[in-house]
Chains A and B, each alone.
Chain A
Amino acid sequence: MNAKDISISVKKKDHDGKVSGQLAYIGDVKVDLMLYGVLYRSPIAHGKVRSIQLPPLPEGYAKIGAEHIPGANFVKLLHKDQPIFADEWVTYIGEPMFMLVGPEFDILHQLLDEVEVDIEEHPAILTLEEAIRQKDHTGVFASHEFGERSDVIKAIEQHAHQIIEEEYVTGYQEHVYLEPQGMLGIYTDEEILVEGSMQCLYYVKNALISALACKDDEVRVIQSPTGGGFGGKEDFPSLMACHVGIAAKAVQKPVMLLFDRAEDFEVTTKRHPAKFIYRTALDEQGNILCMNVELYLDGGANAGLSPVVLQRSLLNSAGVYKIPHFHAKGYALKTNTVPNGAFRGFGAPQSFAAIESLLGHISGKVNRDPIEYKRNYIVKQGDPTITGGRFKDPVLIDDMIQDLLQTVEYAKKKAEFHAFNQHNKRYKKGIGASFFLHGCGFTGSGERDHIKATVKLARTENDQVLIKISNSDMGQGALTTLSKIVANELGLPYEDVSFPYPDTKEVPDSGPTVASRTTMIVGKLLERAASKMKAGWQSGVSQEAVEHYVHEEMIPWDEEKFSGDAYPAYSWGVNLIELEVDTLTGNVKVEKVYGSFDIGKAIDEQIVKGQIDGGMAQGIAYGFMEKMTSKSGRIEQKSISDYGPPTAMDVVHIESKLYDNPFAGGPYGAKGVGELPLTGGAPAVQAAIEDALQIDFYQIPVTPELIIERLTKRAGGSD
């Protein structure tokens, strides 16, 4: 690696402010005359609002509700089904009905307790199972079906040696960004300014324009330093922005809405719980002849981003495998529960957990090693995708697997663990792997048709360059990574490039900070803008350079038919985990973790390592620790320790390795990295637990309770 290699790490742009605690997050901001808002939330899962009775409000306090919305009463995103204030019907427990604003938090909470609402209760759909039963009549946000014709599958199944049917379920996952959601609305005569913790400035701005029925220049959105997002601050902040925007306009004062942890847990979006039903036909040697999958996502009470999450789930339902005669059908369904939304991986982690689990179980049934069995089906460069697109770039995953097996001495380790388990009654050791990919950027033609990203660079007369884009740094390092790309391209010192927190008054719409698109798509545009700026460089003169997204045509994506190239590029991963299960307590002790990744090219090795470590910790915990449940329409976990994200004691050092495989469409060859590392954790940990116990599991998380239940059943002979 030479000294100019872009991968070499630098000091992060925001290091000093963050490490000293002096960088102000939205909760640290106080402005003159600021009021606080608290939301009155539906106590009922489904019902018609009959009446609302407020206690007498002291001076300086006000109720803000649907009657104050100048525009339409829905949060603009995809469907028009999410009210800003639910004033006629409530559709989930926790749905905001109205807001009280005033100067003192304590008094606001007292007032909330004295509110009386009368709601006529209606039947509610409270579980995904119930939604699946009713799907032919009601409650489908989106569905797609594609792949091999069913008569062909039927014919193959008739001549198959064996048909394997399996169901698999995955639970909620909560983001637990350390900074709870927060948003501030400020009224001035000219505009409504909204400032807060968010990933997508223009989603927020567009929602405000719709809610306030105002002109483009009458709203302004500024991102505050954002204390973690993971998708949780993709769609949800738009709702809060509407609340504070409307309230600020109504009372003509600044209004701050800050959630505490319990409220954040109860009402913000989560990872979709999912159910998969697989039907696989095998020949006498155990080879797959055809596969059929039905998948269901619990969307919660409104569509939100569920239709798009469903697409990614379906696109990954065959994993990294070329399965002959594959057919898939999927639904995003409505339930009267808290709406689910974006979470790092965006529907893919569920699908990878499911397909990796299934192939692991099939390999066991036909007496083959799971890794060896799966490798028979790994896609290669030039192979078709399940939607008739093509893996056009080099695919390194099989080499990555081979390398990792050698590194860990897989065969030897398997034998050692086997011997250990035979001699040890209480503790059992296991090893398991997962293989996965992540399609980088928006699905299909989203970048071209919906996002249409624009980036801008501005140079001052002192040759300082400003990055003007609408992407957020939420901790993933975008301030640093993108500054490095621009500095490198311009041949300037990194210190001469700055990336202020975006403000829609200053920056064009370069798209949301989602979908592992920021470095690859926005970074590429910035690289081009920088190269344009360099060509017109005149010292001592201010200058601007603007670039627009240009679509690279592939096999055209058809959303209706669900066919074509869904993504311009794929990042790839291999995880391997060694662990020990205590069969007395069900506790799992993860001992070794390996991750190999092809993300094209690392723009900053340390930032990438941070994504890998943090993503894998979340993914592994999703597989065996983090359990969130809903009962009678209410999220049961109220606090962080009820839920159980990992502490420093729960994780171990991660042995990670990057493979260079530059992608021409990304800056310096970079592809997406944000979501990929989360995806493989759960299936690898499940596979390792299965290897240790020689028991198949059909759900995640594989908690100690579940382990004990299955061990007890086995001991009783019923498993």
Chain B
Amino acid sequence: MIKFILNGKEVETVAPATVRLIDLLRDDFQLIGPKEGCGDGECGTCSVLVNQLVQNSCLIPIGAIEGAEIITIDGYCNTEQFQLLSECYSEAGAVQCGYCIPGMIMASEALLSQNPHPTEEEIREGISGNLCRCTGYNMIVDAIDLAAKKGDGLW
């Protein structure tokens, strides 16, 4: 039995310790926010927060998350920080096909919570584990920059 905190609630599972976190979240907890883009930890579409750090859920065997706090976009989307990020992503035109976006949002949160006023270079580095094929990234970088400015004090 593995116990952990998922989007603020204590949960447990009897699934084997080798099951990937992404599969547990999507199949057992019916959370569709983390998407599978590669299964190799290369694209970031399955990004979640594990104890506030952004991680690829496809690379994590659930045996490693005993006692950890996991936040996925499905829970994060009820926060004030998400509301602001969503507004800024819209204002900057940062969302196209949308498949990378849940992961991008989680990476944005991880970055801003560590560094509330990042430089452009720091934003690019902060989302460099998350691929986007539609936008060429600049409008996403603008969105995060905008959120950092508008959200003064929120992070």
- A102-146 interface (Cβ within 8 A of B): none
User: What residues on B are CB-neighbors of A618 within 8 Å?
Assistant: 133, 136
Inter-chain CB contacts under 8 Å: number: 174
Q: Mark B123-150, 1 if CB is under 8 A from A, else 0.
A: 1110111111111111111000000000
User: What residues on B are CB-neighbors of A609 within 8 Å?
Assistant: 93, 139
- A residues lining the B interface (CB < 8 Å): 9, 11-12, 14-25, 27-28, 175-180, 225-230, 260-261, 474-477, 606-607, 609-610, 613-618, 639-641, 645-649, 651, 653-654
- Contacts A25-B35, A641-B42 known; A610 to B101 CB distance under 8 Å? no
When the two chains form the complex, which single residue of B33, B72, B100, B140 contacts A178, counting CB atoms closer than 8 Å? B100
A16→B37 contact, CB < 8 A = no
A22→B136 contact, CB < 8 A = no
When the two chains form the complex, which single residue of A24, A179, A475, A648 contacts B137, counting CB atoms closer than 8 Å? A648
Closest to A607 in B: B93
Question: Does chain A have a CB within 8 A of B2?
Answer: no
- Contacts A474-B97, A607-B93, A651-B138 known; A179 to B86 CB distance under 8 Å? no
User: What residues on A are CB-neighbors of B45 within 8 Å?
Assistant: 178
A640→B95 contact, CB < 8 A = no
Q: A476 CA to B34 CA in the complex, in Å?
A: 22
When the two chains form the complex, which single residue of B36, B93, B124 contacts A27, counting CB atoms closer than 8 Å? B36
User: What residues on A are CB-neighbors of B43 within 8 Å?
Assistant: 178, 261, 640
Q: Mark B9-52, 1 if CB is under 8 A from A, else 0.
A: 00000000000000000100000111111111011010000000
When the two chains form the complex, which single residue of B82, B93, B127 contacts A648, counting CB atoms closer than 8 Å? B127
Q: List the 8 closest pairs (A to B, CB-CB), nearest first.
A: A475-B97, A18-B98, A21-B33, A227-B99, A617-B136, A21-B102, A606-B93, A613-B136
- Contacts A11-B90, A21-B33, A178-B37 known; A610 to B96 CB distance under 8 Å? yes
B38→A610 contact, CB < 8 A = no
Nearest Cβ in chain A — how far from B78, in angstroms?
Answer: 9
Q: A175 CA to B131 CA in the complex, in Å?
A: 13
User: What residues on A are CB-neighbors of B33 within 8 Å?
Assistant: 20-22
Nearest Cβ in chain A — how far from B68, in angstroms?
Answer: 20
A28→B32 contact, CB < 8 A = yes
User: What residues on B are CB-neighbors of A180 within 8 Å?
Assistant: 36-37
**18 extra interface residue pairs, beta carbon distance < 8 Å, beyond A178-B132, A230-B133, A648-B125:** A19-B89, A20-B82, A23-B98, A176-B131, A177-B133, A178-B99, A178-B131, A179-B97, A260-B36, A476-B96, A614-B133, A639-B42, A640-B42, A645-B131, A647-B131, A648-B123, A648-B137, A654-B136
B99→A228 contact, CB < 8 A = yes
When the two chains form the complex, which single residue of B26, B128, B129, B134 contacts A228, counting CB atoms closer than 8 Å? B134
User: What residues on B are CB-neighbors of A177 within 8 Å?
Assistant: 97, 99, 133
Q: A135 CA to B6 CA in the complex, in Å?
A: 61
User: What residues on B are CB-neighbors of A613 within 8 Å?
Assistant: 135-139
B39→A261 contact, CB < 8 A = yes
User: What residues on B are CB-neighbors of A476 within 8 Å?
Assistant: 96, 134
- Contacts A22-B32, A230-B133 known; A648 to B124 CB distance under 8 Å? yes
- Contacts A613-B138, A649-B124 known; A261 to B37 CB distance under 8 Å? yes
- Contacts A18-B95, A610-B96, A641-B42 known; A179 to B37 CB distance under 8 Å? yes
Q: A17 CA to B99 CA in the complex, in Å?
A: 11
When the two chains form the complex, which single residue of B26, B105, B125, B137 contacts A19, counting CB atoms closer than 8 Å? B105
- Contacts A610-B134, A610-B135, A614-B133 known; A15 to B90 CB distance under 8 Å? yes
Q: A25 CA to B34 CA in the complex, in Å?
A: 11
Q: A260 CA to B72 CA in the complex, in Å?
A: 22
Nearest Cβ in chain A — how far from B133, in angstroms?
Answer: 5
A610→B98 contact, CB < 8 A = no
Q: A17 CA to B32 CA in the complex, in Å?
A: 11
Q: A175 CA to B99 CA in the complex, in Å?
A: 14
Q: A228 CA to B98 CA in the complex, in Å?
A: 8
Nearest Cβ in chain B — how far from A172, in angstroms?
Answer: 16
Question: Does chain A have a CB within 8 A of B74?
Answer: yes
When the two chains form the complex, which single residue of A19, A230, A474, A616 contacts B101, counting CB atoms closer than 8 Å? A19
Question: Does chain A have a CB within 8 A of B60?
Answer: no
B134→A475 contact, CB < 8 A = yes
User: What residues on B are CB-neighbors of A9 within 8 Å?
Assistant: 93
Q: How many residues of B contact A (CB 8 A)?
A: 50
Question: Does chain A have a CB within 8 A of B59?
Answer: no
Nearest Cβ in chain B — how far from A270, in angstroms?
Answer: 14
B131→A640 contact, CB < 8 A = yes
Question: Does chain A have a CB within 8 A of B77?
Answer: yes
User: What residues on B are CB-neighbors of A261 within 8 Å?
Assistant: 37-40, 43
Question: Does chain A have a CB within 8 A of B54?
Answer: no
Q: A660 CA to B79 CA in the complex, in Å?
A: 42
Q: A697 CA to B95 CA in the complex, in Å?
A: 36
Q: A648 CA to B138 CA in the complex, in Å?
A: 8
Q: A626 CA to B95 CA in the complex, in Å?
A: 23
Can you list 20 pairs linking A and B with CB atoms under 8 Å apart? A12-B93, A12-B95, A20-B73, A21-B101, A28-B26, A177-B97, A177-B133, A180-B36, A227-B99, A260-B39, A609-B93, A609-B139, A610-B139, A613-B138, A614-B134, A640-B38, A645-B133, A648-B123, A648-B140, A654-B138
A21→B73 contact, CB < 8 A = yes
B98→A14 contact, CB < 8 A = yes
User: What residues on B are CB-neighbors of A28 within 8 Å?
Assistant: 26, 32, 35
Nearest Cβ in chain A — how far from B104, in angstroms?
Answer: 9
A19→B32 contact, CB < 8 A = no
Nearest Cβ in chain B — how far from A521, in angstroms?
Answer: 21
Nearest Cβ in chain B — how far from A716, in angstroms?
Answer: 37
B42→A19 contact, CB < 8 A = no
Closest to A639 in B: B40
Q: A17 CA to B43 CA in the complex, in Å?
A: 21
Q: A176 CA to B38 CA in the complex, in Å?
A: 10
User: What residues on A are CB-neighbors of B135 within 8 Å?
Assistant: 610, 613-614, 617
Closest to B45 in A: A178
User: What residues on B are CB-neighbors of A227 within 8 Å?
Assistant: 35, 97-99
Closest to A9 in B: B93
User: What residues on A are CB-neighbors of B95 within 8 Å?
Assistant: 12, 14-15, 18-19
User: What residues on A are CB-neighbors of B26 within 8 Å?
Assistant: 28
Closest to B107 in A: A648
Closest to B126 in A: A648
Q: A609 CA to B95 CA in the complex, in Å?
A: 12
User: What residues on B are CB-neighbors of A260 within 8 Å?
Assistant: 36, 38-39
- B48-82 interface (Cβ within 8 A of A): 72-74, 77, 82
Q: A12 CA to B89 CA in the complex, in Å?
A: 11
Closest to A260 in B: B39
- Contacts A178-B97, A179-B99 known; A22 to B139 CB distance under 8 Å? no
When the two chains form the complex, which single residue of B97, B132, B139, B140 contacts A226, counting CB atoms closer than 8 Å? B97
